[in-house]
A and B are shown apart, each in its own frame.
Chain A
Amino acid sequence: MTGTAHPQTPLSRRSWLARAGAAVGVMTLAACQRGQTISESLRVSAEALTRRSQRLLIPREALAPEYQPSQISPFFKPNGSIDPAASDYVALKDGGFADYRLMIDGLVEQPLSLSLADLRERPARTQITKHDCVEGWTAIGQWTGVRLETLLEEAGLMPEARYIVFHCFDALTQTEEGPRYYESIDLVDAMHPQTILAYDMNGQTLGVPNGAPLRLRVERQLGYKQAKYIRRIEAVDSFEAMPGPRGGYWPDRGYEWYAGI
């Protein structure tokens, strides 16, 4: 560059803007060439920004709002699967879930296999919370269950464990062969005081439409993270170890894995 340039002229500002525009264009093109659509690139940036800022601004233990018994919704809309078709589930359901065993394995020192009676023997937490569906509706329900942290401490998480995966009985296609629902959360949410595996809803045994015999409540995220019909809980070190590429049935289909908004 020669010394005669006029850095303050509108032309230099314009060329700066042109360069900035070109840079954004190149980044977008690069993202698209990696096989991502524009909307996919937007998801990656916005989800990272939202997750990081929420993790930064919201204390680890900050509780989701809890409600009064009078505020419980008269109708808690069952959504997604409401009666799983898988034969292993149907057999358990027909036996009143007496033969149900929750498996906890993966990166743990001591894998566990727990019956519903085993789960009910452990300390319980009851909470009245709101359920925010990604579609926009809200329902308030009372949940009783055992804290996930209690079970993970019992099993002993290995140091390399970073995510907890919930494997479910149901396939949203309502068929035997359909891809089964799964979800995953990180250890911040796994250890949160309100993160429970619920076996009771509104003071009664959890019904089939709402996820019997056991469902997850992770109260600072949207409804699709609240996995129903849980059969197995697995500790893993990365997304590669999960059934799908993005850590959940709906995340694999374009929704955010971090569903705090």
Chain B
Amino acid sequence: MTDGVIETTTPPGADPAPDRHADRPLPGGRVDTYRHPPLVRISHWLNVTAVVVLIMSGLNILLAHPHLDWGTDTNFGNHWLDIPPIPNWLLLPQGRNLAEARHWHFFFAWVFVINGLIYLAYGFISRRFNGRLWPSRADLAGFWPSVKEHARFHFPKDEEARNYNVIQKLTYVFMILVVLPMMLITGLSMSPGFNAVGGFLLDIMGGRQSARTLHFISGALIVGFIVVHVGLVVWTGFVNNMRAMITGWFVLEPSAPANDDHKGDAS
């Protein structure tokens, strides 16, 4: 890799009808690269809306019985976990209201499921999932060095930032293929209607109260992901990251400041 130089994906001027999504060189050695197609951007923001509503209404539902148990039934004498009071601003609707919280929860559960299925179908059919998210052997071999770099808050620049790094890939794959589906399966397993066909899932999980506790744990993993994800979005360039998820275009910064750049790089 050449230091500070970003390769463009198509030779300039070679094609009479250039690709609308080809790299665009910017001043200072920066390169504007097309990262997210419209379907990914729309499904991302729909998912943000759905997940935020689901978490807030889910907390409201949880407060109707703020205890968690393992097994087939509730152990009223000795709960596994007692949930402390939750501040009102985290609840949807504001203030405890089980009936309305359920309306929000189930409407946006449908948004979450339909949006998720469209995203997954697109990701697999277009092979984007394979290309951008599934880690290669080379990625996995570079796992520990990447962890060390991240632990020092050194984040990839220029060509290295064009694709997701191995930690990003593993995290996204884990969220998309494990945690979010877990959320759906554990949630559905609390439905007495669904139990009539999906009762085997209850058996695997060890009962409805286990399903409820696992639903909460998956939710907590999603909250943990959101905290780290949003933190890194801000840390690694809030405007650039937001622009990428809104317009599709992401700026690759050169790893060394270019000559005509009067400002030093923050790294």
Contacts and interface: CB of A to CB of B under 8 A. Distances in A.
Interface string A33-63: 0000001101101110110001001110011
Interface string B29-69: 00000000010000000000000000000000110110100
A133 interface: yes
Interface residues of A, number: 45
A140 to B, nearest CB: 5
A136 B99 contact: no
Contacts of A19: none
Contacts of B76: 75, 77, 137
B97 to A, nearest CB: 8
A260 B191 contact: yes
Given A59-B197, A62-B197, A49 B98 contact: no
A62 to B, nearest CB: 4
A132 to B, nearest CB: 5
Interface string B176-206: 0000000000000011111111010010000
Given A50-B106, A65-B202, A260 B65 contact: no
A45 B72 CA distance: 31
A135 B104 CA distance: 16
B193 A54 contact: yes
A135 B192 contact: no
B103 interface: yes
A49 B106 CA distance: 10
Interface size class of B (residues with CB under 8 A): 35 or more
B208 A132 contact: yes
Contacts, number: 117
Chain B interface mostly helix, strand, loop or mixed? helix
A67 B208 CA distance: 12
Contact of B98 (A40, A135, A139, A221): A135
A40 B99 CA distance: 10
Given A65-B199, A133-B65, A255-B99, A260 B208 contact: no
A215 interface: no
Contacts of A260: 191-194
Contacts of A140: 72-73
B122 interface: no
Contacts of B102: 43, 134, 255-256
Given A46-B106, A135-B64, A138-B209, A58 B197 contact: yes
Interface of A: 13, 39-40, 42-43, 45-47, 49-50, 54, 57-59, 62-65, 67, 71, 73, 75, 77, 130, 132-140, 219-222, 250, 253-256, 259-261
The 5 closest A-B pairs by CB, nearest first: A260-B193, A254-B99, A136-B65, A42-B107, A43-B103
19 contacts: A39-B103, A42-B103, A42-B106, A43-B107, A46-B106, A46-B107, A50-B110, A50-B193, A54-B193, A57-B197, A64-B195, A64-B199, A130-B72, A132-B192, A134-B64, A136-B65, A138-B208, A140-B72, A260-B193
